[in-house]
Structure 1
């Protein structure tokens, strides 16, 4: 869907990060843009598209701006935070899809030297859509770092940040209501005691396909073989605890290649600027897009988008429900 906040920023003749500010002179482009906004004049060739654009985002932006104004009234913040949901990742039309079996073979070759190694702990940036039947949906971007210590305790730090808009305020709902906080604001920092359990995903993942399949099934608390959708959920749980090494990534790539329903689409650039191969799984009402490193088979990200509108929650088909981007 269109990023309404970006459209609003694009309509601002004096952006906060521009070379000219509100108390200084406007440049030629800003003066012309302001004149168009005030007098609704546009070249004849652009008149129709311009009206269509205004109609398209004007109604949708109303709800977003209402939520923003409410948040700003309570915080005194004057800089607009990132409210709108991220756009779905777009596959490059001129790229060639790489079958999962071929990717698994590449991963197997890349794992020959067993580097990098498996590490307990994770580093992920994630976006999730907060929905309510009484308020418009908003996107909550965070960065989570989990580090394990020698005594098997671990520390989790969660920060409000959005790499799409570095330095700009970020929305959070940690107090139950959406409000903007500064980029890099620490939402939580907590150290957890040693775990009493060594069951998956606490135990190290196996490096053989059959063992990994059983491991993920146990991690999902399932007594039956996992469907492909359930397997992707279990993979997300695994990556919430472990940063996979080359050997583990190759095993996971082989397991995914054996599953039904994941279709190769081609190359994408993820939200951290990394190139990856996209594989999609269509489920009732949603589409899962798995992004994998084209050389090593490592999982880079997982995106869930709506394929069916949910009007009661203000959600349209194509909206991003959630996105995770894992890093080493």
Structure 2
């Protein structure tokens, strides 16, 4: 046996006294990597996180499935932390595998902020609410449907990793018996507007490139509490509904209201009547100003409405003809050099479809 060990030692190209490979304490980087191997990526991403929330001071975040970014105070500056569920950690790894080959850096899909057409005439929200009410009064489609179809981008930062934006598409469809399906796929950041899911025959499925991150069917369930219960068509009742959906009994600020809208649209595809009630509610919101015409990330024409608070600029995009909400974008209004994030960086973006 001794002779065999000597032969093995002689064949080993690593010197026994090498500082990187000898027995001894691990350095800080090695300890982090060992911790990831032992405890899993999801545990690291969720470190220091309690209930998912929106920006600090801006109230609760959108509901399940809606990627968000938390802003937490740290030594007098904003700190960005992942507010994604554990599935997002798996999604980030899957996206890296899909879009990066051996020896290549992970794909970073940070979208640029949407640009408002400065030469366009902003449409006041009151006028848009009137258009939405007219569409609803005419009995036009669409009808309210439980479930969502959304494309989203969300920025994640950590102390020891570079910024990465996770693009994904999510489709939730409910069945008459109360069960529902959920399909989430990673999208290709090189083609941010290209759909990867379709349900033309009533069954969500892939129609283009994409890695499946989640594919599950849940048993029947019912709830009469927002946001699971159907949203009302009356603006005052809708405000109370959104307040309850955000787990608070205090009046919502405008940023909190916009977060609540995202929660609603992550659970329901609104009909014309519900969109009209929401447009009227938004028309009465404070400091939500019209900004002008914008083209969203799916190539749709929209009108932008902007609100700023706590270092974050939220841009709501609405259909100029029907008053339906198309998207919501959140961007930083100041840079954070410590994390390599510039002013105007897109923290999160959602584009809702039917």
Does the TM-score normalized on the shorter chain lie above 0.5? yes
Partner of 2:148: 122
2:320 paired with 1:307: no
TM-score (structure 2 length as normaliser): 0.65
Partner of 1:262: 288
Partner of 2:129: 104
Rounded to whole Å, the distance in 2 between the matches of 1:166 and 1:259 is: 31
Return the match for 2:168 from 135, 142, 155: 142
Rounded to whole Å, the distance in 1 between the matches of 2:121 and 2:105 is: 39
Return the match for 2:245 from 210, 213, 219: 219
TM-score (structure 1 length as normaliser): 0.70
Return the match for 2:271 from 232, 245, 253: 245
Aligned counterparts, 1:31-42, within 5 A:
none
Aligned counterparts, 1:117-196, within 5 A:
117-162=143-188, 164-165=190-191, 183-196=209-222
Question: Cα gap change, 1:317/1:108 in structure 2, threshold over 3 Å: closer, same or farther?
Answer: same
Question: Cα gap change, 1:84/1:144 in structure 2, threshold over 3 Å: closer, same or farther?
Answer: closer
Contact 1:103–1:297, Cα closer than 8 Å, also in 2 = yes
Return the match for 2:307 from 281, 297, 303: 281
Aligned residues: 246
Question: Cα gap change, 1:249/1:196 in structure 2, threshold over 3 Å: closer, same or farther?
Answer: closer
Partner of 2:233: 207
* CA RMSD of superposed structures (Å): 2.5
Contact 1:201–1:219, Cα closer than 8 Å, also in 2 = yes
Q: Which runs of 5+ in 2 are unaligned?
A: 1-95, 197-207
Greater helix fraction, Structure 1 or Structure 2: 1
Question: Cα gap change, 1:283/1:162 in structure 2, threshold over 3 Å: closer, same or farther?
Answer: farther
Contact 1:163–1:272, Cα closer than 8 Å, also in 2 = no
- The alpha carbon displacement at 1:195 in A equals 2.8
2:352 paired with 1:326: yes
Largest Rg, 1 or 2: 2
- The alpha carbon displacement at 1:79 in A equals 7.9
2:329 paired with 1:295: no
Rounded to whole Å, the distance in 2 between the matches of 1:129 and 1:149 is: 33
Rounded to whole Å, the distance in 2 between the matches of 1:207 and 1:166 is: 33
What secondary structure does 2:237 align onto?
helix
Question: Cα gap change, 1:229/1:76 in structure 2, threshold over 3 Å: closer, same or farther?
Answer: closer
Rounded to whole Å, the distance in 1 between the matches of 2:231 and 2:272 is: 12
2:118 paired with 1:93: yes
What secondary structure does 2:264 align onto?
helix
What secondary structure does 2:331 align onto?
strand
What secondary structure does 1:250 align onto?
helix
Rounded to whole Å, the distance in 2 between the matches of 1:196 and 1:148 is: 11
Rounded to whole Å, the distance in 2 between the matches of 1:107 and 1:238 is: 18
Contact 1:156–1:191, Cα closer than 8 Å, also in 2 = yes
Rounded to whole Å, the distance in 1 between the matches of 2:352 and 2:288 is: 20
- After superposition, the C-alpha distances for 1:40-79 in whole angstroms (9 at most, x for unaligned) are xxxxxxxxxxxxxxxxxxxxxxxxxxxxxxx68x964588
What secondary structure does 1:123 align onto?
strand
- The alpha carbon displacement at 1:191 in A equals 1.4
